[in-house]
Amino acid sequence: MTPVKCKAPRRWARGDVLAEAGAGSVAAAAVARTAGFAVAVAAVMAVMATRGVVAAEAPVSGSANTVNAASAGICTPSEWPRWQQFKRDFLSADGRVIDVGSADSRTVSEGQSYALFFALVANDRPAFDTILQWTEQHLAQGDLTAHLPAWLWGRADDGQWQVLDANASSDADLWIAYALLEAGRAWRERSYTARGAVLARRVLDEETATVPGLGLTLLPGPAGFHPAPDVWRVNPSYSPPQVIRGIATRLPDDARWTRLLASTAHVLTDAAPHGFAPDWALYRAKQGFAPDPQTQAESAYNAIRVYLWAGMLDPRDPLAPALLAHFAPFAGFIAAHGAPPEKVDTTSGSAGANMGNAGFSAAAVPLLDARGEHALADAQIARAEQLNRATPSGYYSSVLSLFALGWRDGRYRFAADGTLDPQWSSPCRVAVQ
Return the H-helix or E-strand segment holding 23. Answer: none
CATH code of domain 9-205: 1.50.10.10
**Whole-angstrom Cα distance, residue 167 to residue 145?**
16
Write the pLDDT tens digit of every residue in 113-133: 999 999 999 999 999 999 999
CB atoms within 10 A of CB 365: 30
- Among 58-67, 236-245, 299-308, 410-419, the range scoring the smallest mean pLDDT is 58-67
**Whole-angstrom Cα distance, residue 124 to residue 216?**
35
**CA nearest 260: which of 308, 305, 319?**
319
The catalytic residue positions are 110, 171
Write the pLDDT tens digit of every residue in 303-348: 999 999 999 999 999 999 999 999 999 999 999 999 999 999 999 9
Q: Hey, is 194 helix, strand or coil?
A: helix
Three-point CA angle 112, 131, 389, nearest 5°: 60
Q: Judge contact between 387 and 358, C-beta under 8 A.
A: yes
**Whole-angstrom Cα distance, residue 404 to residue 186?**
21
Q: For the chain, which residues make up each domain, given as ranges?
A: 9-205
**Whole-angstrom Cα distance, residue 409 to residue 407?**
5
- Read out DSSP for 235-258? -GGG--HHHHHHHHHH-TT-THHH
Backbone φ and ψ for 159, nearest 5 degrees, come out as 90, -5
User: Mean pLDDT across the stretch 426-432?
Assistant: 54
User: Mean pLDDT across the stretch 62-68?
Assistant: 37
